């Protein structure tokens, strides 16, 4: 996470809390969550397509082969992780904990890091949007007390 010299909230925020929230959001693995909630058939198709494109690009750009090999390695590692039910459950629990923490914080402050909108709030927006796009907002957002 980049250090923020002049955050969005300027001096109206608790910088420690800002860094803590940015870290919390950054630690969650959105790719694993999204893929674990994608139908297997679509996931398999996308995975094969992505590997083929990566291999083709590696052939076109031999000077970037090490970068493309790293991408392939990450793709295979993600696929392996998707076979690990414990990892998927831990990832989902991490999301629930993140949302619980956000709910608790927002009960006391207008924004995550205090009285002003900060990068922590910006980082949480895609998490909420992802839940909406996956049509999981009822389960993870609207079902909250």
Q: How far apart are CA 63 and CA 59, in angstroms?
A: 9
pLDDT of amino acid 15 = 83
Q: What percent of the chain has pLDDT over 70?
A: 90
Q: What's the whole-number mean pLDDT along residues 92-119?
A: 93
Three-point CA angle 73, 78, 82, nearest 5°: 150
pLDDT beyond 80 at 2: no
pLDDT tens-digit series, residues 5-49: 555 556 667 788 889 999 999 999 999 999 999 999 999 999 999
| Rounded (10°) angle between helices 119-133 and 85-106 | 130
Question: Residue 102's CB: how many other CB atoms inside 10 A?
Answer: 20
- The reported pTM is 0.83
């Amino acid at each position: 996470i980049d250090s923020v010299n002049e955050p969005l909230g300027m001096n109206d925020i608790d910088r420690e809390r800002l860094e803590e929230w940015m870290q919390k959001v950054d630690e969650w693995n959105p790719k694993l969550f999204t893929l674990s909630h994608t139908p297997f058939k679509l996931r398999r198709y996308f995975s094969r397509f992505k590997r083929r494109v990566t291999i083709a690009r590696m052939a076109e750009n031999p000077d970037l082969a090490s970068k493309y090999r790293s991408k392939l390695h990450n793709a295979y590692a993600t696929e392996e992780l998707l076979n690990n039910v414990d990892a998927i459950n831990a990832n989902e629990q991490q999301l629930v904990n993140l949302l619980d923490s956000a709910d608790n914080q927002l009960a006391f402050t207008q924004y995550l890091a205090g009285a002003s909108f900060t990068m922590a709030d910006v980082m949480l927006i895609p998490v909420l949007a992802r839940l909406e796009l996956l049509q999981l907002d009822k389960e993870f957002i609207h079902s909250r007390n």
